Structure 1
Amino acid sequence: MSPPQQPVRTRHISLPQLPIKLPPLPDLFLTALSVCFLFSSSAAGGKPLLSKSQILRFPFCPRRLLKISAMSLPGGRRHHFANPQSLSDWLRPRLPSDSFASWGVKPGTKNVHNLWLELSEGETSLADSTPPVRTVPVVTVRIRDGRDRILIEAHQELSDGTVRSRDRPLSEKMKPFEDVDSAVARAVQEELGSIIGDGGKVMIVPGSYRKTVEERNSVSYPGLPARYELHSVEAFVEGLPDGEFCTEEDDEYGNSENSGVAEKAVSVKKHFWRWVSADSVKV
């Protein structure tokens, strides 16, 4: 006889109450405060008052300060994209002309307004190279059920009416200074919240966390190489249907401060989900 199966232990995380608005604070004050934390020393040993990990968890996460960092290119010089046009002017000579011209035109692609929003929110960074390399930290949630199945996003319906194939577990770009648990909770709420509501529990399986790096050409931005830092966990989510289902996203960029740019970006309107055997999903 085979030994009885042991129950899977999980840890619970709370879904965030979205949207979360950060209080506006003067840029000068935020900069001075950050410098103070970074360079202050104790009188006794000359050691920093805060470790690097503590600084990264500093609760304010000032949005304006993050934008300055996220929209700057690595290397000796600093470069700021004041608007999508300045980003477009910088990208055009660094990318194949036919590829760049297809952004937002080829079905399933996004446009330069999307990339500018990603940069402004700190979700993406660009290397100052030809072609540039887009680095994206992504949280991937392998949602399981009691029948050894994994939830897969089959495809998406975009705001321009096109359909984009996905065929992957729930994935979401991470925000600056966001830990994995917070990113999981936000991803579940944003993409599945319309069907599970605010009360659905998310239970992450301890020990399931994996980090991998994938390098490939971007599907959303043809011709732009991408480096994906994937933070993967397994989880159980209460309140999901047993069969295929669809969730709606009212406004993907609803919390953005750049509403004028967001209106011109290609957004996701509907997500289509299905359950598949866990054995068929790439780890």
Structure 2
Amino acid sequence: MRPPSPPRPLAFPTLDSLAAFLGSRLPASALASWGTAPGTKTLLNLFLELSQGECVLISAAAAAAAAPPSQQQHPVVRAVHVASVRIRNGRGALLMETGQLLSDGTLRSRGGLRPLSEKMRPGETPEAAAVRAVREELGERVRVRILGGEEARVEERDSASYPGLHARYVLHAVDAEVVEGVPEDGEFDTEEGGEHEDEVVVDGAAAAITVKRHYWKWVDDNDNDEEDVAGAEEGARQSAH
């Protein structure tokens, strides 16, 4: 018997079409919190992610044949592929993100420490996404050596950036080591170099919220509290990006 085909993602040609789709499926109170509750993003952010292929939305009806029971209870699922980049320094410590400064002035704590992460683009390999993540979040002058990756794994949870919207993360871990261009001890911060959504204007829409700065620290394995990325979402363009 042939396995069922994967569900086709939904397409939204306009911001209004996305708003109408979500408005009939998610609680109004949840949608109203997007871009207003600290640490959340706006409907325009989601529209841009969809337009750029950084995520897809799948309706419960389309996904029912292939989805696990945990996913079937949700009217719509946001699916994201994320490259999680585990960068180590010369002594073996792991580079972890501790927080982000957003364009609305919010300082978002990362909660559990998380490695550098990036939403993957259509056709992009985890290794290519890792190289792009280093360039955009750590800086053009930073060089790392990509060592390889692991088989992807899947996590599901409610989205922190878009309350009320369930998310499915396909996590691709990539190992790397520092070559040059980044402090190898203590804590430091970097300017985000890959986000320009705040320059996008759509009539009647709240401005997209972007990451302006990233905050980092080196963590030894015996001190590492790491929670695996869910995002991109929250570290990715968020990543943002």
**Which bin holds the TM-score, normalised by the shorter protein?**
0.7 to 0.9
Structure 1 runs (4+) greater than 6 angstroms displaced: none
Partner-residue secondary structure (3-state), 1:127: strand
Q: From the CA coordinates, give the structure whose radius of gyration is larger.
A: 1
Query: Contact 2:94/2:219 (CA < 8 Å) preserved in 1?
Result: yes
Query: Contact 1:141/1:171 (CA < 8 Å) preserved in 2?
Result: yes
Task: Give the structure-2-normalised TM-score.
Answer: 0.77
Cα distance change of structure 1 residues 107 and 203 upon mapping to structure 2, 3 Å threshold: same
Query: Contact 1:154/1:273 (CA < 8 Å) preserved in 2?
Result: yes
Do structure 1's residue 111 and structure 2's residue 72 form an aligned pair?
no
Query: Contact 1:215/1:227 (CA < 8 Å) preserved in 2?
Result: yes
Correspondences of 1:5-154 after superposition (within 5 Å): 74=7, 80-129=11-60, 130-154=74-98
Q: In structure 2, how many angstroms separate the alpha carbons of the residues matched to 1:98 and 1:176?
A: 32
Shift of 1:251: 5.8
**Structure 2 residue corresponding to 1:182, chosen from 123, 128, 134:** 128
Aligned residue for 1:264? 207
**Structure 2 residue corresponding to 1:203, chosen from 141, 145, 154:** 145
Partner-residue secondary structure (3-state), 2:76: coil
Name the structure with the higher strand share.
2
Query: Contact 1:132/1:225 (CA < 8 Å) preserved in 2?
Result: yes
Identity, % of aligned pairs? 51
Query: Contact 1:251/1:269 (CA < 8 Å) preserved in 2?
Result: no
Alignment gaps of 5+ in structure 2: 1-5, 61-73, 229-241
Calculate the aligned-residue CA RMSD, in Å: 2.4
Aligned residue for 2:234? none
Partner-residue secondary structure (3-state), 2:84: strand
Cα distance change of structure 1 residues 247 and 263 upon mapping to structure 2, 3 Å threshold: farther
Q: In structure 2, how many angstroms separate the alpha carbons of the residues matched to 1:95 and 1:79?
A: 16
Alignment gaps of 5+ in structure 1: 1-72
Do structure 1's residue 171 and structure 2's residue 117 form an aligned pair?
yes
Cα distance change of structure 1 residues 181 and 80 upon mapping to structure 2, 3 Å threshold: closer
Shift of 1:106: 0.3
Query: Contact 2:96/2:216 (CA < 8 Å) preserved in 1?
Result: yes
Query: Contact 2:97/2:115 (CA < 8 Å) preserved in 1?
Result: yes
**Structure 2 residue corresponding to 1:240, chosen from 163, 182, 186:** 182
Amino acid at match of 1:268: V
